[in-house]
């Protein structure tokens, strides 16, 4: 399911990889990386020279979390996932520093609007 979602968003030509990750409330957890759209995996500032960007995280909901919400039956299971929309947007806009997306600078906002027009 995760690979299907990633390929639907980023395209069939993107390389994918799965890595064990830590995400609170899920265990085991996995991160899905795509090869960087800006450098095509060669390494750049946007991917911290790694060639990969983690865009999606997922995992099985930990039983303690389910118990906190009143699910005491042993047959109850859950699967959680989330997509990093900021990383997705920064890759598509060609922004090398994700932090720029949180800066309230009118010049940057205008550039971002023009770059996708």
Instruction: Tell me if 59 sits within 8 A of 31, measured CB to CB.
Output: no
Report residue 51 as tokens: 């060639």
Sign of the dihedral through C-alpha 91, 92, 96, 101? negative
Q: Which structural domain, as residue segments, surrounds residue 60?
A: 2-115
Residue 108: its pLDDT value, please?
A: 66
pLDDT in tens, the chain (117 residues): 889 988 998 889 889 999 999 988 899 999 999 998 888 889 888 788 899 988 889 999 988 888 888 887 778 888 899 887 777 777 767 776 766 666 666 776 676 666 554
Q: How many CB atoms lie within 10 A of CB 31?
A: 20
Residue 117: its pLDDT value, please?
A: 47
CATH at residue 92: 3.30.930.10
Residue 31: its pLDDT value, please?
A: 93
Domains: count for the chain:
1
Residues in the chain: 117
Distance (Å, rounded) from C-alpha 35 to C-alpha 54?
9
Distance (Å, rounded) from C-alpha 91 to C-alpha 88?
5
Helices (H), 1-117: 2-10, 63-68, 85-93, 106-115
Distance (Å, rounded) from C-alpha 25 to C-alpha 39?
33
């Amino acid at each position: 399911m995760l690979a299907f979602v990633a390929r639907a968003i980023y395209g069939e030509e993107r390389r994918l990889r799965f890595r064990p990750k830590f995400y609170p409330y899920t265990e085991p957890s996995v991160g899905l990386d795509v090869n960087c759209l800006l450098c095509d995996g060669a390494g750049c500032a946007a991917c911290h020279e790694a060639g990969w960007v983690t865009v999606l995280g997922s995992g099985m909901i930990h039983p303690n979390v389910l118990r906190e919400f009143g699910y005491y039956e042993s047959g109850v299971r859950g699967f959680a996932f989330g997509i990093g929309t900021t990383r997705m947007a920064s890759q598509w806009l060609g922004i090398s520093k994700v932090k720029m997306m949180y800066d309230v600078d009118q010049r940057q906002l205008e550039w971002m609007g023009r770059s996708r027009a």
